[in-house]
């Protein structure tokens, strides 16, 4: 990518966006970075930094207009991705796709569009009141998942197994739903999968990686591990990839990155959970996919935002990787030792603890409550497992 003297707005500057900001800086762009909070680690890479809520579209647009930007981008966050597309549309900047952002940031609209195109999904019902939820459960039957229609991660998501849990699940979903609407969905037992992909400059979509996930049981399911490649058969893999291609087409997506979630049940059926028109969070698109496929998705996003052509050429054989979330024993942390030694293990691509000495830690209530994570990459899963084991053996958490 050639050096640029253009001004690029990057919406979101947390640790998740640091790889994107580094890439943008390497092009010579003048970078205007925004973030919800002032402590964003990515601000150090920006020419100008502004604290603003990505959901405040008026403030974001006014800032973009006054700053004279030539492009805007975002990644790993639904709110930021929506804001970027809104600004592109309003200012006629390259790669605008507000329709794609609309349909992928509202799970009800996404389900309705996919239903119209005969995509296999859990039975679902959009609800606004507690009575709506109870009626939906009467139709679907227990167990069900109750979730916000427009939030990220696992905020407000509950599994409901009986009548005594309904009201609490509804209220928590409602509290986390910006549109004040929730979804009730049939609970599907099976293998949880993600499919990550991207579009090239000609709007050709590429499926880059398929991962299987480990998720906690109980009423508040939380992801604890994501493994590439997925632990499924070649026949199952082909079915999942075909399904993802159909979903992307059904939603009318044409640009950027894609991150889709599925469940493969015991009968071999692939159920769509959701699709995002952005990269997967926790450095999935910023670090993991580039490491295992050879496709620099950060570079793709920068070139796309500036209206520059780009090609996608994945390696013929991908590497293996694991994203492992740490959930340590409960208690008051007095010291954390061995972090530098653990991070220095060959094959550890990123190690981040979200706790510190003095913290009282317990079981996480949502994805945001996990205690840290590591990203491990190797030629095969056996190598990755060994890297993970060596890394975690060096971490020592001390309690009061």
CATH of the domain at 327: 3.30.470.20
Q: List C-alpha distances in Å: 98 to 95, 164, 308, 331.
A: 9, 40, 19, 46
Distance (Å, whole) CA 95 – CA 74: 12
Q: Are residues 391 and 326 in the same domain?
A: yes
pLDDT of residue 300: 98
Q: Are residues 134 and 178 in the same domain?
A: yes
Tell me: cis bond preceding 229? Omega within 30 of 0 counts: yes
pLDDT of residue 308: 95
Confirm whether 113 is domain-assigned. Answer: no
Confirm whether 361 is domain-assigned. Answer: yes
- The 3-class secondary structure across 45-64, one letter per residue, is HCCEEEECCCCCHHHHHHHH
CATH of the domain at 74: 3.40.50.20
Q: Are residues 98 and 138 in the same domain?
A: no
Confirm whether 285 is domain-assigned. Answer: no
Q: Are residues 68 and 153 in the same domain?
A: no
Distance (Å, whole) CA 301 – CA 199: 10
Confirm whether 215 is domain-assigned. Answer: no
Residues of the chain with pLDDT under 70: 1-3
Confirm whether 14 is domain-assigned. Answer: yes
Q: Are residues 61 and 97 in the same domain?
A: yes
pLDDT of residue 365: 81
Confirm whether 253 is domain-assigned. Answer: no
Q: Are residues 133 and 81 in the same domain?
A: no
pLDDT of residue 183: 97
Confirm whether 312 is domain-assigned. Answer: no
Q: Which of 186, 202, 231 is the last residue of a domain?
A: 186
- Domain count of the fold of the chain: 3
CATH of the domain at 178: 3.30.1490.20
What is the reported pTM? 0.95
Q: Are residues 149 and 181 in the same domain?
A: yes
Q: Are residues 96 and 11 in the same domain?
A: yes
Confirm whether 163 is domain-assigned. Answer: yes
Residues 300-338 have pLDDT tens digits of 999 999 999 999 999 999 999 999 999 999 999 999 999
Q: Which of 186, 204, 222 is the last residue of a domain?
A: 186
Q: Are residues 88 and 147 in the same domain?
A: no
Q: Are residues 85 and 163 in the same domain?
A: no
Distance (Å, whole) CA 388 – CA 348: 8
Q: Are residues 11 and 92 in the same domain?
A: yes
**Structural domain range at position 166:** 123-186
Residues 6+ apart with CB under 8 A from 316: none
CA dihedral 188→194→199→203, nearest 10 degrees, is -20
pLDDT of residue 83: 98
Q: Are residues 93 and 13 in the same domain?
A: yes
Q: Which of 68, 102, 136 is the last residue of a domain?
A: 102
What is the maximum span of the chain, computed from C-alpha positions, in angstroms? Answer: 60
């Amino acid at each position: 990518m050639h050096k640029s003297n253009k001004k690029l707005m990057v919406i979101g500057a947390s640790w998740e966006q640091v790889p994107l900001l580094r890439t943008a800086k390497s092009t010579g762009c003048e970078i205007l970075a925004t973030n919800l909070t002032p402590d964003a680690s990515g601000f150090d890479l920006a020419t100008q930094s502004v604290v603003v809520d990505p959901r405040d579209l008026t403030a974001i647009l006014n800032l973009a207009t006054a700053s004279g930007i030539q492009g805007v981008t975002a990644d790993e966050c639904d709110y930021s991705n929506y804001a970027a597309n809104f600004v592109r549309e309003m200012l006629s900047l390259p790669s605008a796709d507000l329709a794609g952002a609309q349909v992928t940031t509202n799970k009800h609209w996404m389900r309705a569009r996919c239903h119209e195109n005969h995509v296999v999904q859990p039975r679902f019902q959009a609800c606004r009141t507690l009575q709506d939820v109870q009626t939906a459960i009467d139709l679907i039957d227990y167990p069900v998942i109750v979730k916000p229609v427009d939030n990220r991660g696992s905020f407000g998501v509950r599994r409901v197994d009986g009548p005594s849990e309904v009201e609490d699940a509804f209220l928590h979903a409602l509290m986390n739903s910006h549109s004040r609407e929730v979804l009730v969905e049939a609970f599907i037992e099976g293998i949880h999968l993600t499919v990550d992909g991207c579009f090239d400059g000609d709007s050709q979509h590429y499926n880059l990686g398929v991962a299987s996930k480990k998720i906690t049981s109980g009423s508040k399911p939380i992801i604890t591990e994501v493994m590439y490649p997925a632990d499924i058969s070649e026949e199952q893999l082909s079915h999942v990839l075909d399904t993802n291609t159909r979903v992307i087409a059904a939603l009318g997506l044409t640009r950027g990155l894609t991150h889709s979630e599925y469940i493969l049940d015991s009968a071999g059926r692939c159920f769509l959970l959701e699709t995002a028109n952005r990269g997967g969070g926790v450095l999935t698109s910023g670090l993991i996919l580039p490491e295992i496929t050879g496709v620099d998705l950060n570079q793709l996003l920068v070139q796309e935002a500036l209206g520059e052509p780009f090609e996608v050429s994945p390696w013929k054989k991908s590497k293996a990787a694991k994203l492992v979330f740490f959930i340590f024993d409960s208690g008051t942390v007095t010291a954390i030792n061995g972090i530098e030694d653990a991070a220095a293990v060959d094959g550890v691509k990123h190690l981040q603890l979200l706790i510190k000495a003095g913290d009282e830690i317990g079981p996480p209530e949502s994805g945001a409550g996990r205690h840290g994570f590591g990203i491990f990459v190797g030629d095969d899963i056996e190598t990755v497992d060994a890297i993970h084991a060596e890394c975690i053996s060096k971490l020592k958490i001390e309690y009061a």
